[in-house]
Amino acid sequence: MPPVYSSSENTILKEIAHQNGGALSRNMQVVSTQTQSIGTICCMLPISRLTFCTSSLVMAPIASPSSQLTTPTNTPFDEQQPGGGECRKGVKYLVDAAPNMRTLPSEYIMPQPLIPSSVNAAPIPIVDLSGLDGAVERRMIAVQAISSACAEWGFFRIINHGIDISLMDEMLETVKGFFNLSWEEKMKYASDDVMNPVRYGTSLNTPKKHTLVWRDYLRHFGYPIHKSFHLWPNNPPNYRFIAKAYLEEVWKLALKIAEAISEGLGLERDYIEKSLGEGSQIVACNYYPPCPEPNRTLGLVGHSDHGGLTILMQNDVEGLQVKHDENWVAVPHVPGTFVVNIGDYLEILSNGRYKSVEHRAIVNAEKTRISVAAALGPEMMATVAPASPLVDEKSESKFRPIIYKDYMRYQQSTPLRGKSALQPIMTMANNSIAKPS
Ligand code: OGA
Ligand code: NI
């Protein structure tokens, strides 16, 4: 007998089908649903979001994970979507076109609860990575430091990471060069398909309607570089070459940290690396120009990252905030360092021992902020599930398996905030339901 779905479940199915280009991925089936009570935040959302918040759809792959997703075609932005009209050209364009702008355009005004209030500076842990290359005992200390930082914060700063400051600076410079191009030139890389290997855009990653945020971005696939290098921007002419050098270094660095994380979890040192298969890397270059009313909007709303680890660098303008113990805290800028955070993939793999952490970006009235976030993740067709050694009689599996590509498409397509993208794959064993912020 075909399964019967309630209207809210049907809404979710349609949502997922829509995101998959019109059909549920052939290897997915609905295996169970559960209803959760709705909080006040859900009640304030439009009805389509409300129905999505009230149920938890659980998906599991059937047979082999050979997803047959159809890729939506490249459609131009339309006026109904975020970025319609002049806004679609990007916030840099708006600022350049009206340097004396004093009022924030209404499309960017955030609902009251999301407006950043003043926050304290975060004493996020600092990890000296040189310890990982040291003798056994020294290495153990570094592994322990990373393990505690992951468990307590999910966010840490790394020093002695081995990447040349000159390469970091060159990357920031060529990213700036890209955003300084005309909007017509940048729009050559625009796409409504969240899975496109290269995308220029503005506001959140999704083309769905949402309150806009004060950010332009260039996102593209990195490692394995030969697969998408030819698609990366060739203007500025050095962009591809500097980005290649930078992303290769950052990939190696992420693997080194992943080894330490594996060990800290009591897994084989290469456990995470092996779980990635060929692996995938996605880089987000973010551009936040000065904003006329920075307290009425955000550069990025609170979200977690879909990958395993994100390695972030920025120019000398602060703006990153992290949610710690339910409070937002500001991450100070320390030149020459990177900030690393746990993403959803590692929360799933560690069966919830490490949590992906919500973070957001605020903007300011004076200076342009640029950040480059490079995420390490598994290959697109990998089945993402808790590591079997971490699932035993005592600790049930907290997440149902999902194909990484399906998860990423879903997470990137939704304007829902916080860690809500993890909800549909949580099992009953996972009683810490992520709330939108
Ligand atoms: C991101 C991100 C934060 C920042 O790109 O996912 O969280 O400080 N960026 O720009
Ligand atoms: Ni992020």
- 199-246 residue pLDDT tens: 999 988 777 777 889 999 999 999 999 999 999 999 999 999 999 999
| CA-nearest residue, atom 10 of ligand 1 | 371
Q: What is the pLDDT of residue 128?
A: 97
Residue indicated by tokens 């990998």? 382
* pLDDT for position 40: 23
Q: What was the pLDDT predicted at 198?
A: 96
**Residue of 335, 311, 221 lying closest to 257 (CA atoms):** 311
Q: Is the CB of 284 under 6 A from ligand 1?
A: yes
- What pLDDT does residue 25 have? 35
Of the residues 204, 312, 333, 344, which should be mutated to test ligand 1's pocket, given the most ligand atoms within 8 Å of the CB?
312
Q: How far is the CA of 301 from the centre of ligand 1 (A)?
A: 9
pLDDT for 214: 95
List residues, by chain if needed, whose CB lies under 5 Å from ion ligand 2: 305
Tens of pLDDT, residues 349-363:
999 999 999 999 999
Atom number in ligand 1 closest to CA 341:
7
End-to-end CA distance of the chain: 40
- In total, the chain counts a number of residues equal to 437
- Side-chain-side CA neighbours of 97 within 13 Å: the count stands at 10
**b/e burial code for range 230-255 (CB count within 10 A of at least 16 → b):** eebbeebeebbebbbebbebbbebbb
Arithmetic mean of pLDDT, 30-51: 26
Query: Taking 80 as the threshold, does the pLDDT of residue 79 lie above it?
Result: no
CB 378 within 8 A of CB 404: yes
Q: Which numbered ligand comes closest to the C-alpha of 374?
A: 1
Range of lowest pLDDT (62-76, 174-188, 279-293): 62-76
More confident: 266 or 417: 266
Q: Which atom of ligand 1 is nearest to the CA of 375?
A: 6
Work out the mean pLDDT of the chain and round it to a whole number: 81
Which pLDDT belongs to residue 39? 26
359 pocket-lining for ligand 1 (C-beta < 6 Å): yes
Which amino acid is present at 177?
G
136-427 under CATH 2.60.120.330, yes or no: yes
92 lines ligand 1 (CB under 6 A): no
| pLDDT of amino acid 324 | 94
Query: Ligand 2 centre from 363 Cα, in Å?
Result: 15
Token pair in block for residue 423: 């909800």
Q: Is the pLDDT of residue 123 over 70?
A: yes
Domain residue limits, the chain: 136-427
Q: Which atom of ligand 1 is nearest to the CA of 288?
A: 10
**237-293 tens-digit pLDDT:** 999 999 999 999 999 999 999 999 999 999 999 999 999 999 999 999 999 999 999
Q: Which percentage of the chain shows pLDDT scores above 90?
A: 63
Cα of 287 to ligand 1 centre, how many Å? Answer: 10
Whether 108 has a pLDDT exceeding 50, the answer reads: yes
Beta carbons within 8 Å of 41's beta carbon, 6+ residues apart: 53, 113, 435, 436
Element (H, E) at 361: strand 359-361
- Local structure of residue 113 (DSSP, 8 states): G
Q: What confidence tier does 140 reach under pLDDT thresholds 50, 70, 90? A: very high
Helices (H), 123-270: 136-152, 165-179, 183-187, 239-264
Q: Is-cis flag, bond preceding 224, omega within 30? A: yes
| CB distance 357 to ligand 1 below 6 Å | no
Predicted local distance difference test score (pLDDT) of residue 368? 98
